[in-house]
């Protein structure tokens, strides 16, 4: 067994949080930082091209292809739950959408016991992350490592959809990361020139020029090493051999909402009954480790456009159109090859929304496909997807045994709450109203998904159960709070042990209303400030 010493901090995972944290901690020249990444290097054209996420999300070479257990809420289907397994983690394979969420999302966190995490508390950290290419604002950052760009593509059908939404009463919103999330407009993306900007390209790779930062790839963490209740290191497997690395200050889990609770449980921190069932020593009985799993369940609606040729389904099969797209991307850093998982969309309220706060997030693309990695449909498809901003249903992540390489049991538990069912049915009805507005109705011929035959609430809900999918926003399994049952405290220290923190999306007490990548960057940025402050105080 190899043994590595000489580090202050060991970070498990080089994803959005891990890369950001490593870069910030290594700014202290005296801090010796080791990053362990279970995947390989983030090389390859499809990892760099913005639209390459269509190929990467389900590529087993760069993605851990987890699957949920059979879920009665989605007609006993097993939901795909891919997570990045590459330097940069999911930020290297995601849909590039950069949106913080509603300001009240973070005020909710504070109200739930995450002291110091209100919107006013976290805004400076959001600003420190980014360089936004749009107009200057006190709400936006101008000097951060991550490049955030406005949409660089124009599509007539998307423009007409926006006109329909505004005629319906939704205001135009020029910056979803500005004063409010409500309304419709174009989404912002993590783009550096014509290429994807990930946590690796923005934070980790530049920081690796420092002599005090070390990255080990293909190094799969198998357990945390303890001396009593004090975390002292990490045991990991690389090239078939087991190694140990030791930390003088802290071990920090950045494995995400599946692997962080899995590693805690394998290390004896979790529900005592579960750990004993698998013959593990109970180091600390933490019943909520792996609980509180949340995700956004997305329902796609698809219509077939008329013959004007404004669907990318048509352009992708036309050699001349393809050449134009490639040239526009290469010369102008614009066009369809620079888009992410949504071009336009916004936040809206159903009749179930409380306090005027949006409960639906909508994403529009001038194409249609069953899921990333599959061919675009052969008809002229146009998609409006949506999800409920704050689902009440909760799932869990639990180890199935003691093998660290075995996937844990992921119970997604979608649509278990009655309110979730009602809101998603209303979402279908709202989207249909937008399709049928005069500003857009003349563009399409037929509704393909869910299909015009689905009209009653029961029929629409059944279609959702059969057709809805994940948007890969798993969060919450290591909930932070100020109560005894919280997995981590508001400083992200794991309760019941010492010198161990969790820094990733798993600490969110409640899922944010929109995409979860931007708030994950923020969590790591704030965590780095807290960790360095603690180190300087001792």
Q: Are 388 and 427 in contact (CB under 8 A)?
A: yes
CATH number at residue 353: 3.30.410.40
pLDDT value of position 536: 84
pLDDT of residue 216 exceeding 70, the answer is yes
- Residue 269, both tokens: 């921190």
278 alpha carbon, distance to own chain's centre: 30
CB atoms within 10 A of CB 249: 19
Q: What range does the domain containing 319 cover? A: 152-186+297-388+415-467
pLDDT value of position 425: 98
In this structure, is residue 446 part of a structural domain? yes
Alpha helices by DSSP H, 377-499? 418-435, 438-441, 457-467
What is the pLDDT confidence band of residue 371, given thresholds at 50, 70 and 90?
confident
Q: Is the peptide bond before 353 cis (omega within 30 degrees of 0)?
A: no
What tens digit of pLDDT does each residue of 407-435 get?
999 999 999 999 999 999 999 999 999 99
DSSP 185: E
Q: Give the CA distances from residue 7 to residues 26, 229, 251, 319, 321, in Å, rounded to whole numbers and listed in that order.
A: 11, 19, 10, 54, 53
Q: Which residues of 195-231 are buried (b: 16+ CB within 10 A; e: fewer)?
A: bbbbbbbbbbbebbebebbbbbbebbbbbbbbeeeeb
What is the pLDDT confidence band of residue 537, given thresholds at 50, 70 and 90?
confident
pLDDT value of position 3: 60
Catalytic residues: 473
Q: Give the CA distances from residue 425 to residues 71, 273, 391, 449, in Å, rounded to whole numbers and listed in that order.
A: 19, 38, 13, 14
**What mean pLDDT comes out for the span 23-32?**
97
**What mean pLDDT comes out for the span 6-21?**
97
Helix (H) or strand (E) segment spanning residue 483: none
In this structure, is residue 76 part of a structural domain? no
In this structure, is residue 398 part of a structural domain? no
Question: Which has the minimum average pLDDT: 5-14, 101-110, 401-410, 514-523?
Answer: 5-14
CB atoms within 10 A of CB 448: 19
Helix (DSSP H) and strand (DSSP E) numbers for the chain: 16, 24
What tens digit of pLDDT does each residue of 266-305 get?
999 999 999 999 999 999 999 999 999 999 999 999 999 9
Q: Are 253 and 13 in contact (CB under 8 A)?
A: yes
What is the pLDDT confidence band of residue 442, given thresholds at 50, 70 and 90?
very high
The secondary structure of 406-429, three-state, reads CCCEEECCCCCCHHHHHHHHHHHH
Binding site for FAD, by residue number, is: 86
Number of domain units in the chain:
1
DSSP 201: I
In this structure, is residue 165 part of a structural domain? yes
In this structure, is residue 116 part of a structural domain? no
Beta bridge partners of 95: none
- Residue 210, both tokens: 């420092």
In this structure, is residue 400 part of a structural domain? no
Q: Are 190 and 197 in contact (CB under 8 A)?
A: yes
Distance CA 415, CA 39 (A): 33
Instruction: Kindly report the average pLDDT of the chain as a whole number.
Output: 97
pLDDT of residue 491 exceeding 80, the answer is yes
What tens digit of pLDDT does each residue of 43-61 get?
999 999 999 999 999 999 9
In this structure, is residue 73 part of a structural domain? no
What tens digit of pLDDT does each residue of 142-169 get?
999 999 999 999 999 999 999 999 999 9
Distance CA 523, CA 6 (A): 27
In this structure, is residue 394 part of a structural domain? no
Alpha helices by DSSP H, 301-354? 312-315, 319-327
């Amino acid at each position: 067994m190899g043994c590595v010493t000489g580090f202050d901090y060991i970070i498990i995972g080089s994803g959005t949080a891990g890369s950001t944290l490593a870069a910030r901690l290594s700014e202290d020249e005296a801090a010796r930082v080791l990053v362990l990444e279970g995947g390989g290097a983030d090389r390859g054209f499809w990892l760099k091209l913005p639209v390459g996420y269509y190929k990467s999300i389900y590529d087993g070479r760069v993605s851990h292809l987890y699957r949920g257990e059979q879920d009665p809420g989605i007609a006993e289907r097993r939901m795909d739950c891919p997570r990045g397994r590459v330097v940069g983690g999911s930020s290297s394979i995601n849909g590039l959408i950069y949106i913080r969420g509603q300001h009240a999302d973070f005020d909710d966190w504070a109200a739930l016991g995450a002291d110091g995490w209100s919107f006013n508390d976290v805004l400076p950290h959001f600003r420190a992350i980014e360089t936004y290419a749009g107009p200057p604002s006190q709400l936006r950052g101008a000097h951060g490592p991550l490049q955030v760009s406005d949409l660089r593509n124009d599509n007539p059908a998307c423009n007409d959809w926006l006109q329909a939404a505004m005629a319906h009463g939704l205001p135009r919103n020029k910056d979803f990361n500005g004063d409010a999330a409500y309304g419709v407009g174009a989404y912002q993306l993590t783009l550096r020139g014509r290429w994807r900007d990930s946590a690796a390209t923005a934070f980790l790779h530049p920081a690796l020029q420092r002599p005090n930062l070390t990255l080990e790839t293909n190094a799969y963490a198998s357990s945390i090493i303890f001396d009593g209740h004090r975390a002292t290191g990490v045991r990991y497997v690389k090239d078939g051999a087991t190694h140990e690395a030791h930390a003088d200050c802290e071990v920090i889990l950045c494995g995400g909402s599946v692997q962080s609770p899995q590693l805690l449980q394998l290390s004896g921190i979790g529900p005592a009954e579960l750990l004993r069932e698998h013959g593990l020593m109970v180091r600390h009985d933490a019943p909520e480790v792996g609980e509180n799993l949340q995700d956004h369940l997305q329902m796609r609606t698809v219509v077939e456009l008329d013959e004007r040729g404004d669907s990318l389904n048509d352009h992708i099969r036309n050699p001349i159109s393809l050449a134009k797209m490639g040239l526009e991307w290469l010369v102008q850093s614009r066009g369809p090859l620079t888009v992410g998982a949504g071009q336009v969309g916004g936040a809206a309220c159903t009749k179930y929304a409380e306090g005027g706060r949006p409960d639906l997030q909508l994403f529009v693309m001038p194409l249609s496909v069953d899921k990333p990695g599959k061919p675009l449909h052969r008809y002229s498809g146009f998609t409006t997807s949506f999800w409920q901003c704050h689902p009440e249903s909760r799932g869990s992540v639990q180890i199935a045994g003691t093998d660290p390489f075995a996937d844990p049991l992921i119970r997604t538990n979608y649509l278990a709450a009655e309110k979730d069912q009602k809101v998603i049915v209303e979402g279908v009805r709202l989207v249909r109203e937008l399709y049928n507005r005069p500003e857009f109705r003349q563009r399409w011929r037929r509704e393909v998904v869910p299909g015009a035959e689905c009209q009653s609430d029961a029929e629409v809900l059944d279609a959702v159960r059969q057709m809805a999918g994940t948007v890969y926003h798993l969060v919450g399994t290591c909930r932070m709070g100020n109560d005894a049952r919280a997995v981590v405290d508001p400083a992200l220290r794991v309760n019941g042990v010492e010198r161990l923190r969790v820094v990733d999306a798993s600490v969110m007490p409640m899922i944010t209303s929109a995409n979860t990548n931007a708030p994950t960057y923020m969590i790591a940025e704030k965590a780095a400030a807290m960790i360095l402050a603690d180190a300087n105080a001792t």
